[in-house]
């Protein structure tokens, strides 16, 4: 299967750049209160708001990487997103968010492992940070499964009880 803007693939998944046509799925993803429960993000108020967000998403051009849509190879379904984000404070973090109906199938772990590998081998990053609300046990498990180690507890984007994890290039 050939996908425009494909960045990398795993046995089950294709990770590609966001497209404006992802707006409806993006809106649905961020409208699920359980999905955004620990993120500090607000839901989009409309599909059009999601479309505007996607049209202004400049991380690929600015930093050479960003968050990527995660697509199921078999069904071509938009499962969610996973990827890297450069922060003005000088670090790159890994993040992931999936539609709730796809939780528990290993998609976050599978895509995040591939993203970590890509970050070190293709982007030559020296370390990658992962951040999660202390109560978000599922995300913490994913960070640990992909090799990140607990680093510190700190404030993060409006979430006071955030745990920071990191992994360094070997």
**DSSP letter, residue 36:** S
Q: Which residues of the chain have pLDDT under 70?
A: 1-4, 158
- pLDDT at residue number 2: 47
- pLDDT at residue number 57: 97
- CB under 8 Å to 65, separation ≥6 — which residues? 59, 83, 84, 86, 92, 119, 123
Give the Cα separation of 49 and 52 in Å (integer). 5
Check if CATH label 3.60.21.10 holds for domain 6-125.
no
- Give DSSP secondary structure letters for 87-132: -TTS-EEEEEEE-GGGTTSSHHHHHHHHHHHHHHHTS--SEEEEEE
Give the Cα separation of 21 and 144 in Å (integer). 33
pLDDT in tens, 21-59: 999 999 999 999 999 998 888 899 999 999 999 999 999
């Amino acid at each position: 299967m050939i996908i425009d803007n494909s960045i990398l693939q795993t046995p089950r998944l294709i990770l590609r750049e966001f497209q404006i046509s992802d707006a409806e799925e993006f809106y649905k993803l961020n409208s699920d209160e359980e999905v955004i429960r620990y993120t500090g993000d607000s839901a989009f108020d409309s599909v059009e708001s999601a479309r505007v967000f996607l049209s202004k998403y400049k991380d690929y051009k600015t930093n050479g990487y960003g968050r990527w849509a995660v697509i199921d190879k078999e069904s071509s379904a938009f499962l969610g997103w996973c990827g890297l984000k450069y922060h003005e404070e000088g670090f790159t973090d890994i993040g992931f968010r999936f539609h709730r109906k796809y939780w528990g199938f290993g998609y976050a772990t599978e895509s995040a492992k591939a993203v970590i590998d890509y970050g070190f081998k293709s982007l030559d990053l020296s370390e990658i940070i992962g951040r999660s609300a202390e109560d978000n046990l599922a995300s913490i498990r994913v960070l640990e499964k992909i090799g990140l180690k607990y680093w510190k507890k700190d404030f993060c984007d409006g979430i006071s009880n955030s745990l920071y994890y990191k992994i360094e290039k070997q």
